[in-house]
Amino acid sequence: MISFRGDAHKIYLQLKNTSNKGQSYKQLPGLIEIEEINQFYHSIDSSTLKLIFYRMIKEKNGSGIVPIFVSSIPWFLFMFSNKIQDFLFKDGRFIWLIIFAFLYFFILITSVILHFREKAWAAAHIEIIQDVLKKRNDSDIA
């Protein structure tokens, strides 16, 4: 069943399905991965963990390459100017436009998806690190 409600709803459906089968929640791959990350951060000393936390904040707030692609859309539209068309597409060769458009939009869409996935993972790591530090009474970071 295709759902466009996002990953949170997919996780809910996986949990519900696991519950209906009478299985343990801890067997879900997504939860296993988070538990491994949590255990790893528990094995690191607090001062190093704070440095990792600051680095994760930088990663989460970093803009990455997506704004470059989005801001370059006017350059893509520039391709439709008459002079460029005359040079690239003389004799009816529009194959360059098709190839360029396909590659451009493929890279753009892929970059946007990766950008937001990276931000989401950075947020998850930040929350896990904050929880570990709070458990150690290092709540001055939160």
How far, in Å, CA of 96 to CA of 93, rounded? Answer: 7
- Return the closest-CA partner of residue 44 out of 138, 122, 123: 138
Q: Is the pLDDT of residue 41 over 90?
A: yes
DSSP string, 51-70: HHHHHHHHHHH---SHHHHH
Percent residues over pLDDT 90 in the chain: 27
How far, in Å, CA of 15 to CA of 21, rounded? Answer: 10
pLDDT at 14: 87
Residue 102: both structure tokens together = 């396909």
pLDDT at 10: 85
Please give the average per-residue pLDDT across 52-76, as a whole number: 76
Q: If you search the block for the tokens 């990766």, which residue do you land on? A: 114
Please give the average per-residue pLDDT across 83-110, as a whole number: 76
Mean of the per-residue pLDDT values of the chain: 81
pLDDT at 2: 61
